[in-house]
């Protein structure tokens, strides 16, 4: 997971940065309406789960992992012999990825990135469809980054939700980081956004409480 507004709001004492330093939570996403969502920091540092493996099995290289966090997915792909680059706006996340054997750059997805227009698979996992608070703008940018035959593998929120606003990271003691734009998108909303952007749903599946969709450009003959 990454934030991106489009720069990292995470100072060295931000709850998210501290959780990355420790390798565990608790750390929470506090939404503007007061709701608090626990972040699965333990999963970000653990080996890929069976649900993660279902994503990795669908990846064709080269792969760009947007909001890579500590890099569990891009590192797992490298171990499979699939080239993968992580990108994360939080310096500690990118540093963790590299230190643990992955490849990552510390940049916003909206910055200039390597091999633009050449990625065959782009990952938006762990809620990263919320990056920047505008899923349409994010998906447009991701389409720019992928090859004409490339695919976007997106994890949707398990709830049927479409929310846009601001959020903060918060620790167990209520210490909050700075606000940043964020969004939550369930599968029905993601279908609607994809349709608006002329993206087709090539695949979708559920594993436990997690939901995934594969999006790709629709051919001109199928549009309209």
Task: With 0.75 as the threshold, say if the pTM is over it.
Answer: yes
**Lowest-pLDDT choice from 88-92, 102-106, 107-111, 151-155:** 88-92
Percentage of the chain with pLDDT > 70? 92
Domain with 195 in it = 15-222
Asked whether residue 186 is domain-assigned, the answer is: yes
Residue 158 Cα distances to 84, 128, 188, angstroms: 26, 13, 10
Asked whether residue 2 is domain-assigned, the answer is: no
Asked whether residue 215 is domain-assigned, the answer is: yes
Asked whether residue 3 is domain-assigned, the answer is: no
Asked whether residue 175 is domain-assigned, the answer is: yes
In the chain, which residue ranges form alpha helices assigned H by DSSP? 15-22, 41-45, 50-56, 72-79, 91-99, 135-145, 187-196
| Cβ atoms of residues 199 and 222 within 8 Å | no
**Lowest-pLDDT choice from 46-50, 104-108, 169-173, 216-220:** 216-220
Q: Which residues pair with 207 in a beta bridge?
A: 210
Asked whether residue 10 is domain-assigned, the answer is: no
Q: What is the residue-averaged pLDDT of the chain?
A: 91
CA distance 105 to 120: 18
Peptide bond into 100 cis (omega under 30): no
Q: How many domains does the chain have?
A: 1
Asked whether residue 183 is domain-assigned, the answer is: yes
| Cβ atoms of residues 182 and 133 within 8 Å | yes
């Amino acid at each position: 997971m990454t934030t991106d507004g489009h720069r990292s709001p995470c100072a060295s004492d931000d709850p998210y940065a501290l959780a990355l330093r420790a390798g565990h939570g608790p750390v929470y996403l506090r939404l503007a309406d007061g709701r608090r969502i626990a972040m699965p920091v333990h999963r970000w540092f653990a080996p890929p789960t069976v649900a993660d493996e279902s994503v990795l099995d669908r990846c064709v290289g080269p792969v760009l992992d947007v909001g890579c966090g500590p890099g569990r997915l891009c590192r797992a792909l490298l171990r499979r012999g699939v080239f993968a680059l992580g990108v994360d706006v939080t310096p500690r996340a990118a540093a963790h990825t590299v230190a643990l054997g992955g490849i990552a750059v510390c940049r916003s997805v909206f910055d200039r990135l390597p091999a633009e227009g050449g990625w065959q698979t782009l990952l938006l996992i762990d809620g990263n469809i919320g990056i920047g608070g505008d899923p349409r703008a994010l998906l447009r940018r991701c389409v720019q980054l992928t090859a004409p035959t490339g695919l976007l593998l997106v994890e949707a929120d398990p709830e049927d939700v479409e929310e846009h606003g601001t959020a903060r990271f918060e620790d167990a003691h209520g210490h909050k980081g700075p606000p940043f734009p964020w969004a939550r998108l369930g599968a029905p909303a993601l279908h609607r956004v994809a349709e608006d952007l002329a993206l087709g749903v090539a695949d979708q599946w559920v594993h436990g409480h997690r939901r995934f969709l594969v999006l790709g450009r629709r051919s001109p003959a199928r549009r309209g």
